[in-house]
Structure 1
Amino acid sequence: MPHGLTLEEILAELENHQESDDEDDDMELAIIPPDADVITDEEDIGGNVLNNESGAESGMLSTKKYECKWYKCQPTYTNTSEPGKSNEHYVAECLANKTVPHVFEDFFSEKLMDTIIEQSEIYACQHNKINFLITKEELKSFIVILLLSGYHKLPHENMYWKQAPDVGVSLVFNSMSRNRLWEMKRFIHLNDNSKLDRNDKMYKLRLYFEMLKKEFGKCGVFHSELSIDEMMVRYYGKHSAKIFLRGKPIKFGYKIWCLTSSNGFLHNFSPYCGMARLTTNRSL
């Protein structure tokens, strides 16, 4: 058979061969792929032919326009938990045998405490307080006192160390002296001032925020009902990121965008620092 025949010419040759009387004459047929830059018969079709009704009448392929109908259905989620258990139940089982302090330490990790201690000692050295050192036990006591003062309020901070039975708190004055607490409040720091990024209004808290988000996100998103909304942190001092929201229970403070579940767990968050920061940093 000659070389370089088209498909129609090959079919014609086969028909002629079947009609011939010479049955011993074998025919060898080989289909060689075309070169990469050659348009084949299947590709040499106009794009409008498939949508042309006259093309359908002539035996060509045609397409019909179908309307897409959308149906509301429950989404499916994948998780890394054991078969037959939801991710939420898996996390609950992991934390079931732990006390409240142990759960707190799972999120406020050793690495986070080491970073706070390191940055605080650097900040103290920058202010000529070379002998300032913090241990992890002191840092834990410091955090406990701050949390306690949030719901056990007294008219003045000095009253926590008073010996009077109506104001003194033994948990406070037995764990840390008043002067030591004031010293730690003065030098506690979360990021290095020598590397200050003046374009980031939250630079002094940025390292702490990023590490804290990793700790909150290590359990994954284990709930299907999520919400992204704003929350306010009350603050009346001077800061460029402080905003005013009229008609809100907390009118002055920092606005933080939060990704939370219906059971109250915080999966992710991002402090609002203005439109310029919002367009360059989309962490949620």
Structure 2
Amino acid sequence: MKNSKLIKKRHWTKGDLQKNPGSQTNVKRLPPIILSKASEPLEFLELFLSSDVLETLVKNTVMYAASKNYKLEVGNEKMLVFISILYISGYVPVPRRRIFWEGRPDTKNGLVSNSMRRNRFEDIFRYTPVSEDMSVDESIIPYFGRNGCKQFIRGKPIRFGYKAWVLAQPFGSAENANRITKLEKINFSGTGTVRDNRIDKCPIEDSVIMKKKPRGTFDSFVDRENNIVCVKWRDNSVVTVLSNKYGIAPVRKAASP
């Protein structure tokens, strides 16, 4: 599933964001959750897996199958059953997926085999393309207090904290100018470090030149139309950041440790 480019050409000018970094944006709030202990499990699942998500999966699965000269008919309901089987395989691990449909009483899973035929499951599994353009990786959130979920990983820059799974892009950089633009259009704030080749032709000072300058040197360019600022500064190394929320102001000298 490849998204079209959100912006064809950006107009970068030297400067900073106009709005106050501490101001609150007009964020569209999500509707309140009205579920309770009496709610069905499916109602909780639909909070994360909405009909829009299912329709997107169905549409792209059918399109991908057609690109391989295979006619696949699948709807939202069958896609939901398919995803449910994947969830089951997560907490009922078996050496092979086909074991769920085997006739032997010690291995057959009636819940799975009665919900979907094996061949149909494998067809949907074969032509669901979501894994091709996504990368799931680990991220450690620093935490030094006492908590049973805290982990220790030897040899990592952040050794103590919570381990979370993040969805990134295959080339290893989750942040880019188009992503920040999309967040801005739906009234969400976004800030993150970015590689120099992901700033969409921003004419900011080259990192090689900035490395030769004193620590604390910075440069910034702003895309007024999309309310994005690109900031680069010289710290121990050169850091590049994109944001639609925080600019360079106020500038002050950091306290010595």
TM-score by length of structure 2 reads 0.43
Structure with greater helix percent: 1
Structure with greater strand percent: 2
Bigger Rg over Cα: 1
TM-score by length of structure 1 reads 0.40
